[in-house]
Amino acid sequence: MARITAGVGCSHVPAIGVAMDQGITEQPYWEPVFEGFEKSREWMKEQKADVVFLVYNDHCTVFDASCIPTFALGCGPEFAPADEGWGPRPVPVVKNHQVLASHIAQSLVLDEFDITVMNEMEVDHGLTVPMSVMFGDKTVDDEWPCLVIPLCVNVVQYPPPTGNRCYNLGKAIRRAVESFDEDLNVVIFGTGGMSHQLQYKRAGLINKEWDEQFLNRLTSDPVALSQTPHVEYLREAGSEGVEMVMWHVMRGALDDEVEEVHRHYHVPASNTAVGHIILENVKDQGMAK
């Protein structure tokens, strides 16, 4: 059967993608950001993932105020990088595992999660930046090393889903994947955040202490962490910090007991706290199942 073996939490700051595309990652400002992903890229190679299930949010490139689904699952054959105002990023087209994506869509709906099925959409920096930092520089003439199933979550228009809803969605995604007959190694990404606010009087807010507490509890106390109310994200992590509810989807899809194998945290990167964590299911527990 297919199995989710590990999870990745990762910020998706658009300027990180720009730095990679412009070849300036070794500049003093950017070098500390990218040093924290060197181990991650080696780890990713070792995983030999067949599929990445990537949870992110659209930044008004596919959805606008006329239609904003809470959860939108990509089920089309492929998804091109979006033009976010300065042309598409020069990275590969995302190719989907359509059969698994369709299976997950059916399983989630029958599990009473209302999923919007997207057969056509473009993907913005919310998806392409995490792929770039985890897999390294890729051009439009390359291919990503694995197939990618995108899940877009609304954290732009209030109200976003709660952390608890996202955590339980992760559990439902795990059930869906494990009911798929093909032998596949699936790694799930939860992206967005960490603390940042881009506008008004608190623009530039970064709360390192709160971010690090979030990372600690994501590993050791995920159920209680998933109960964090929206107002706490807004107060402590800024108006855009609510993106971190998407990390709960990743955590819910893993075993209760996980091992933290890597963590990276750096501030700032374009007025944002960059957070990153890799969690693996505890090996003997996974074998027992």
Rounded Cα gap, residues 271 and 150, in angstroms: 26
Q: Which amino acid is at 197?
A: Q
CB atoms near residue 207 (< 10 Å): 20
Half-sphere exposure of 212 (CA within 13 A, CB side): 7
Chunked mean pLDDT (size 10), the chain, 289 residues = 97 97 97 98 97 97 94 98 96 98 98 97 98 96 97 96 98 98 98 95 96 98 98 96 98 97 96 97 55
Question: Do the strands 116-118 and 94-95 form a parallel or antiparallel pair, or are they unpaired?
Answer: unpaired
| Per-residue pLDDT at 248 | 98
Rounded Cα gap, residues 172 and 189, in angstroms: 15
Active site residues: 125, 196
Which residue carries 């390294």 as its tokens? 136
Rounded Cα gap, residues 163 and 184, in angstroms: 27
| Per-residue pLDDT at 72 | 98
| Per-residue pLDDT at 108 | 98
List, for residues 115-159, the tens digit of each pLDDT value: 999 999 999 999 999 999 999 999 999 999 999 999 999 999 999
Nearest alpha carbon to residue 251 among 8, 81, 24: 8
CB atoms near residue 31 (< 10 Å): 12
Contacts for 118 with CB less than 8 Å, ≥ 6 apart: 62, 72, 73, 74, 75, 76, 152
Nearest alpha carbon to residue 176 among 72, 104, 277, 90: 104
| Per-residue pLDDT at 287 | 41
Nearest alpha carbon to residue 159 among 234, 76, 98, 75: 234
| Per-residue pLDDT at 252 | 98
List, for residues 54-72, the tens digit of each pLDDT value: 999 999 999 998 999 999 9
| Per-residue pLDDT at 152 | 98
| Per-residue pLDDT at 288 | 37
| Per-residue pLDDT at 35 | 98
pTM (2 d.p.): 0.96
- Could you tell me the two tokens for 269? 């990167």
